[in-house]
Copies of this chain bind each other. A is one copy, B any other.
Amino acid sequence: MTIIENKALPESFIKTLPGSAYSDPEMFAREQELIFEKMWFCAARSADVGKPGAFKTVQVGRESILITRSRSGEARAFFNICRHRGAQLCTEESGEVKRSFQCPYHAWTYDLDGKLVAAPNLTKMPDVDRVEYGLRKVHVREWLGYVWVCLAEEAPTFEDSVMGDVRTRLGDIESIDHYGVENLELGRRITYDVKANWKLIIENFMECYHCATIHPELTEVLPEFADGFAAQYFVGHGAEFGEDIKGFTVDGSEGFDRIPGVTEDQDRRYFAVTIRPQVFLNLVPDHVILHRMYPLAPDHTIVECDWLYLPDVVASGKDVSHSVELFHRVNQQDFDACERCQLATDSRVYADGGVLVPSEHHIGAFHEWVLNSLQGTD
């Protein structure tokens, strides 16, 4: 009886990553260092730090990052650590300060640009530079109504990396501009606690071979998904709504008015985009769904999912539950599957990984990108 076989793969298959890639703490630490703390990370909604002094604290990789807005209206991000003895400046998830952050331990005080502006006896320490001993800064960029941060010393070009992923998927960057995502407002947020590696969640989002099995509601709305080919398989392709489907809702009932900029070509279609390493973008005519992942451990990822609508939909208190319910079910179905896969990653019969069928082969490019990123050669 042979338990581990090493035969050549049939041509229909290519390999996944080995099991340990999904469970090894050292692999995960390298991913934190070389992926999540090196790339642009979608950290907060711009509206959450809407005015000067409003702040949010966010876990980015292994670091606590303090996001706020300066008096001049620009988003700012800092390591959430006092330069004196290292106390965490803000322990609350969000809040608002007037004009400065004061460390609650020894009262070192920083303005909204991070400069050290006061401390007990500071005047007796004239050799201390107020900027050099200001808060450690992090790169910031706002796009699509979100604050993106990058913890690398030198950030990759936002245009090449974040926008590049959108361009590669949709064919051009104008396609997303039509949705005016930065003008939409939050209709609903649901947070999922997933006991699975972040890469399993990405792999799942990238393929639709599972759609017929686990997503009855979604394949009802997007009949072509039943064939197993994901929207992400073809550049620029959006999956078309079924004939009797009126809107992207759990029961196919009518949605809301089309977002003004959305074109005829984009109408009645669903586009999905993966922005590496932690964002999924889902575009339909009347709303946008944006997922953000926060990887906490090899087998533990928090996923925050935002449903975004036109301002008047949110302001008028219209019932968004039919559209929310559709992707909320899809999320639950997907994350259950990912958790089920996580269980095998330590098995000796999965040491060499599993296989990808033809309609999943494009996931191999994601695996290569991960491995390259960890070698710092991407």
Residue A1 at the chain B interface, CB threshold 8 Å: yes
Q: A263 → chain B, closest Cβ, in Å?
A: 33
Residue A317 at the chain B interface, CB threshold 8 Å: no
Residue A156 at the chain B interface, CB threshold 8 Å: no
Query: At the interface, is chain A mostly helix, strand, loop or mixed?
Result: loop
CB-based contact B228/A120 at 8 Å: yes
Copy tally for this chain in the complex stands at 3
Q: A149 → chain B, closest Cβ, in Å?
A: 12
Within 8 A of B (CB), among A1-42: 1-5, 7, 10-13, 16, 19, 37
**Number of A interface residues in the complex (CB < 8 A):** 72
Residue A378 at the chain B interface, CB threshold 8 Å: no
Residue A213 at the chain B interface, CB threshold 8 Å: yes
Residue A128 at the chain B interface, CB threshold 8 Å: yes
> Which of A86-94, A183-191, A233-241 forms part of the interface with chain B?
A86-94
Q: How far is the CA of A146 from the CA of B7 in the complex (A)?
A: 34
CB-based contact A354/B84 at 8 Å: yes
Q: How far is the CA of A216 from the CA of B10 in the complex (A)?
A: 65
Please, which residue of chain B has its CB at the minimum distance from the CB of A343? B88
CB-based contact B64/A343 at 8 Å: yes
A107/B354 contact (C-beta < 8 A), A86-B19, A87-B340 known: no
Q: A199 → chain B, closest Cβ, in Å?
A: 12
Given contacts A4-B153, A13-B125, A88-B341, 20 further A-B contacts (CB under 8 A): A1-B153, A2-B153, A3-B137, A10-B129, A13-B128, A16-B85, A16-B86, A19-B86, A62-B347, A62-B348, A64-B343, A81-B344, A83-B355, A87-B344, A88-B343, A104-B214, A105-B210, A105-B341, A121-B209, A136-B349
